[in-house]
A and B are shown apart, each in its own frame.
Chain A
Amino acid sequence: MTMTAGATIPVTRQEVEDFLYEEAALLDEWRLEEWLQLLTEDAAYYVPSTDVPEGDHKTTLFLIADDTMRIRSRVKQLLGKSAHAEHPHSRTRRMISNVRIRKTEGESISVTANFVVYRVRMEQTDTYVGRYEYQLVRHNGRLKIRERRAILDLDALRPQGKVSIIL
């Protein structure tokens, strides 16, 4: 763990873990409107392509590169009836571990964590494995997500075929 000299508000791993577990629970329970409350106004959500996991979405084709407007639209779609891939909803279960605070700078906190997300639907179980890179900020004393990047360790989305849930 690196704490830079500029850090103004200390953050503990336990606080970050509690926050990520709460986020995971909201997503698993499809409480997506509440999940949106965890995001800053300028939040972004990325899933890079599996062959260029360290790519930049401005120069590299990603699987998902949502700005805040698209995240909100994604949530609205997922909660409606026309997102056929998730209607009826899948069940998901997120395992988050190896949570590390990598850097704090002013109010910004860089966090990495490992994940396994199981998605179960219509007699199929798909497994997504990878790591998260979060940019968190403290906003009125509470943690918020400015950026979440789900970097898959998969070679390909095979046999998963898609990322229709919020990873």
Chain B
Amino acid sequence: MDSISLEGFIIDDREAGLFRVNRQAFRSPEILALEHERVFERCWIYAGHESEIPQPGDFCSRRVAGRPIILAHGSDGQVRVLLNTCTHRGTLVCREPRGNARTFQCPYHAWTYNNCGELVGVPGEDAYSAAFDRKELGLGVPPRVESYRGFVFVNFDPHSESLLDYLAGATEYLDLVCDQSEVGMEIVQGTQTYSMRANWKLLVENSFDGYHAMPTHQRYMAFLAEIGGMDMPAISRLHGEGKALGNGHAVIEYEPPWGRPVARWAPYFGEAKKAEFAATQQKLTARFGKEWAYRVAQTSRNLLIFPNLVINDIMAVTVRTFFPVSPDYMEVSAWAFAPKEESPEDRALRLDNFLTFLGPGGFATPDDVEMLESCQKGFANKEVAWSDISRGMKRAHPVTSDELQIREFWRRWRDLLMLRPARIEASRAA
């Protein structure tokens, strides 16, 4: 499939207010191959968070953009991403999901690398010629590795823009998430690793889709009403806005019906917490001023960092990333993200609040899985060629139940697949 045949894949008629996506985008293996080449090999891809490896020697290993990698905190204090393959014959040099190690020794022929990736041991090295240079045979690294507020990203395109330029307007929202803490946020241990029998882009759409909240998550809303004494008409709306942030990143930000640590009190947190939450809000106001402090603690946001990092700062904060395995199957990893200084009691409260909604055993995510898998099944009806994403397209100020944020993703996706170099500016998209 060349870029010409992609021309009609997306109907983006701003004048008429119509936006349609050809459903081949969700089921074609050729599209997936193009996505690997033009999206996952070109964009900044989230690899992990520095807080997962706080001490020198700490490491964790995982798959990112199809590659087994090691996120390693070297004894020299530097955080690195190392490609997990022995430069000798290919073996994974690290087969533990996490730990602390000075060295990674390949189990096959015992080549040994230090935790900075340098090759420091080759058994029987005298058998090699003078041309054999250990210094050239350290563990591979991605062409680019950069981080923003502890979020470590890799880029397999050596010529890409910097991470900061790439993130564009999304940094504002990452800041809002991170400013909950005075000393820094951390990934909490315990990973929700799951999957969906659905195209990965369906999860992009779903992760910041305010329109589906009531029908799909009716049971969560009812649960919330039950425990919190909130009235249904009020909680059925997520007052707020959808916003394009440039480069395909987008967000919805709104007044949520739920309480949230660190400072948005709800009846189900108990009276004892009320004053404490108010004091936290005051502290935030003193640090940041009233407006920013209000947004940090009182509003919720569902943020997409294009293409596949979702940070949903809702009743708790989840960091979620996912990769396609085939057009109709994706693997998802999700973590809880929390202030490092949180008291044990508050941490427990946060995790509890997290699980009411989020994750594959929560009162919401299983129904999302069901909906997306159901969409994927529906796509077998090739006669129905288009999905409609036009909601709120003519509205001057898009609300959370509109689909501006979803269109933003698709526009960037289209441009990358069609090798259009230009960035989508936030202003144009709005």
Cβ of B205 < 8 Å from any Cβ of A? no
Number of interface residues of B (CB under 8 A): 42
Cβ-defined partner of B189 (8 Å) among A52, A156, A159: A52
Q: Which of B209-254 contact A (CB under 8 A)?
A: 216, 218-219, 222-223, 226-227
User: In the complex, which residues of chain B have a beta carbon less than 8 angstroms from the beta carbon of A59?
Assistant: 188-189, 344, 347-348, 351
- CB atoms of A55 and B331 under 8 A apart: no
Contacts of B188 on A, CB cut-off 8 Å?
59-61
- With A59-B347, A61-B335 as given contacts, are A161 and B361 in contact (CB-CB < 8 Å)? no
Considering only residues 71-119 of chain A, those with a C-beta below 8 Å from chain B are 73-74, 77, 80, 82-86
Interface stretch of the complex, out of B33-41, B142-150, B193-201, B257-265 = B193-201
* Of listed B331, B363, B367, B373, residue having the most chain A CB within 10 A: B367
Which of A48, A62, A65, A73 is close to B223, meaning CB atoms less than 8 Å apart?
Answer: A73
B-contact bits for A52-68, CB 8 A (1 contact / 0 none): 10010111111111000
Binary B-proximity of A124-167 (CB < 8 A = 1, otherwise 0)? 10000000000000000000000000000001111111111000
Residues in A with CB closer than 8 Å to B370 are: 84-85, 162, 164
Contact between chains at B344 and A82 (CB < 8 Å): no
B162 touches A (CB below 8 Å): no
B351 touches A57 (CB 8 A): yes
> A77: which B residues are within 8 A, CB to CB?
219, 222-223, 363
Q: How far is the CA of A77 from the CA of B363 in the complex (A)?
A: 9
Chain A residues positioned under 8 Å from B373 (CB to CB): 161
* CA A69 to CA B356, docked complex, whole Å: 11
Q: B371 contacts which chain A residues (CB < 8 A)?
A: 84
Residue in B190, B344, B362, B363 with the greatest tally of chain A CB atoms within 10 Å = B190
Between A and B, how many residue pairs show CB distances below 8 Å? 127
User: Is the pair B190, A60 in contact by a Cβ cutoff of 8 Å?
Assistant: yes
- Compute how far the CA of A156 lies from the CA of B331 in the bound complex, rounded to whole angstroms: 10
Residues of B within 8 A of A49 (CB): 190-193
A85 vs B195: C-alpha distance in the bound complex, in angstroms?
Answer: 14
Q: Across the interface, do A156 and B356 meet the contact criterion of CB distance under 8 Å?
A: no
| B304 at interface by CB-CB < 8 Å | no
If A58-B347, A84-B370 touch, whether A52 touches B216 (CB-CB below 8 Å) is no
Q: Tell me, rounded to whole Å, the shortest Cβ–Cβ distance linking B203 to chain A.
A: 11
Of the candidates A70, A73, A84, which one forms a contact with B367 in the assembled complex, judged by CB atoms under 8 Å apart?
A: A84
CB neighbours (8 Å) of A36 from chain B are: none
Q: Is B360 an interface residue (CB 8 A)?
A: yes
Check A55/B189 contact, CB under 8 A, given A61-B335, A85-B367: yes
Residue A51 is within 8 A (CB to CB) of chain B in the complex: yes
* Proximity bits, B179-195, A CB within 8 Å = 1, else 0: 00000000011111111
CB of A24 within 8 A of chain B? no
* Minimal Cβ-Cβ distance residue in B for A80: B219
Interface pair A63/B352, CB less than 8 Å apart = no
The yes or no answer to A50 lying at the interface (CB within 8 A) is yes
Q: Does A47 contact B (CB under 8 A)?
A: yes
Secondary structure dominating the interface of A: loop
List residues of chain A with CB within 8 A of the CB of B351. 57-62, 65
A47 and B194: CB pair below 8 A?
no
> Contacts of B223 on A, CB cut-off 8 Å?
73, 77
- Judged by a CB distance under 8 angstroms, whether B138 is at the interface is no
Q: How large is the interface on A (under 10, 10 to 19, 20 to 34, 35 or more residues)?
A: 35 or more
Is B369 close to A, CB under 8 A?
yes
Within the assembled complex, what's the spacing in Å between the Cα atoms of A82 and B97?
37
Chain B's nearest CB lies how many Å from the CB of A163?
4
Interface residue ranges of B341-381 to A (CB < 8 Å)? 344, 347-348, 351-352, 354-356, 359-363, 365-367, 369-371, 373
Closest to A159 in B: B195
- Cross-chain contact of A51 among B191, B218, B222, B360 (Cβ < 8 A): B191
Question: Which chain B residues numbered 304 to 359 have a C-beta less than 8 Å away from chain A?
Answer: 329, 331, 335-336, 344, 347-348, 351-352, 354-356, 359
Please indicate the chain B residues that have their CB under 8 angstroms from the CB of A86 in the complex: 366
Most buried by A among B188, B226, B360: B360
Q: Within the assembled complex, what's the spacing in Å between the Cα atoms of A129 and B131?
A: 52
Q: Which residue of B lies closest to A150 (CB)?
A: B361
User: Of B218, B347, B354, B369, which is within 8 A of A82 by CB?
Assistant: B218
Residue among A82, A159, A163 with most chain B CB within 10 A? A82
- For B196, the chain A residues whose CB sits under 8 A away are 161
Known A51-B97, A59-B189, A59-B348; further 15 A-B contacts with Cβ < 8 A = A52-B190, A57-B348, A61-B191, A61-B192, A61-B355, A62-B361, A73-B363, A82-B218, A84-B367, A84-B371, A85-B370, A124-B197, A156-B331, A161-B194, A161-B196
Residue ranges of B at the interface with A (Cβ–Cβ < 8 Å): 97, 188-197, 216, 218-219, 222-223, 226-227, 329, 331, 335-336, 344, 347-348, 351-352, 354-356, 359-363, 365-367, 369-371, 373
Could you list 23 A-B pairs, sorted by A, with CB under 8 Å? A49-B192, A51-B97, A51-B190, A55-B190, A58-B344, A58-B348, A60-B351, A61-B190, A63-B355, A64-B361, A65-B351, A65-B352, A70-B356, A77-B219, A82-B218, A82-B219, A156-B331, A158-B195, A161-B194, A162-B194, A162-B360, A162-B369, A163-B360
Q: Which 4 A-B pairs have the closest CB atoms?
A: A61-B190, A156-B193, A64-B361, A63-B361
